[in-house]
Structure 1
Amino acid sequence: MSTEPVLDMPTSGRFEGRDHLLAIRVYYEDTDFTGLVYHANYVRYLERGRSDFLRLTAVGHAALLDAAEPMAFVVAELNLKYLKPARIDDALVVRTAYDAIKGPRLLISQTVERDGEILCRAEVTAVCIHLDGRPRRPTKALLEGVKPWLAQDKRTD
């Protein structure tokens, strides 16, 4: 069990190369009766990683909602692979990489790690939408904010 402080990083995490790292501490409320992190809580951790990635690129959710043409995201696909359990008091890191933007879709790779060991892998497809739920292309601000962090060969279509 890792109880050492996770990386010395600000509340919204930090970038390491093109990856965003977010520190997460496992609390009692995150666990099931066995003391292991309940499977659905990994989804919450991953959401925090994606949100804080955007927040640090100056295109956080609040800014997107306040824009002249407000937009939001929905998760269209989420593939998870649980490899090892996390336990109460563990110091975890959510690693997030925005891989590509294809039309309204954002393709995102994520892991939840403990001491550099991957506990959970996720492949996420998020879709940009109008507030009425219709798909839409990302705003220019979103494209400009995320573009430096995308894989070089997959900038945008």
Structure 2
Amino acid sequence: MNEHPSAGRFDGREHRLAVRVYYEDTDFTGVVYHAAYVRYFERGRSDCLRLAGVHHGELAADERPTAFAVTRLEVDFLKASHIDDALEVRTLYERVRGARLFVSQSIWRGETLIATAEVVAACIDLAGRARKPSKALLDAVAPLLAEAP
């Protein structure tokens, strides 16, 4: 796995990314606005792939350009978090089925579970059509998966 200091770390298959809550992430009461969690989850998925050697820019510049589109996002908000909280986004790529990647994520504040998400992301071409992941992409994510592709 590649090293990028700001991209988090792996703990076994699980990727862990530190995230700080900033003023811009909160509503007028100082509580994290629900859409900010979606951004945190996105950062977790992206940095997990980055550490595995998958870079979005390279995918887009490939001879078969590929991107990702979230097709399903189910979030459970369990506890509130607030400005200045230190959070950790945990990401597990579970399996690949056809063009779809299945991902389980959670956000923690210390030992407190804040939110969970089940995500399905599809590999797409630049016209938005689903496509199976390339062999290089599958090879990069294979060590992260609970089920072999």
Aligned to 1:73, the other structure's residue is in SS state strand
Indicate the percent of aligned positions where both proteins have the same amino acid. Answer: 55
Post-superposition Cα deviations, 1:78-108, rounded to whole Å, max 9, x if no partner, equal 0000000110000000000000000000000
SS of 2:49's equivalent in the other structure is helix
Summarize the alignment of residues 89-108 of structure 1 with structure 2, pairs less than 5 Å apart.
Answer: 89-108=84-103
Matches within 5 A, 1:107-122: 107-122=102-117
TM-score, normalised to structure 1, is 0.91
SS in 2 for 1:11: helix
Where does structure 2 lack aligned partners over 5 or more consecutive residues?
none
List, as ranges, runs of 4+ consecutive aligned residues in structure 1 with deviation greater than 2 Å: none
Alignment of structure 1 residues 133-144 onto 2, 5 Å: 133-144=128-139
Q: Which residue of 1 aligns with 2:12?
A: 17
Aligned length: 146
By how many angstroms is 1:126 displaced?
0.1
The reply on whether 1:57 has 2:55 as its aligned counterpart is no
TM-score calculated relative to the size of structure 2:
0.96
* Displacement after TM superposition at 1:155 (Å): 1.1
Pairing 1:76–2:62 present? no
Pick from 140, 148, 155: which aligns with 2:148?
Answer: 155
Give the letter for the 2:60 counterpart.
Answer: L
RMSD: 1.0
* Structure 1 counterpart of 2:56, one-letter code: H
Gaps of 5+ in 1: 1-8
Distance 2:41 2:136 in 1: 23
- In structure 1, distance between residues paired with 2:144 and 2:60: 22
Paired letter, 1:117: T
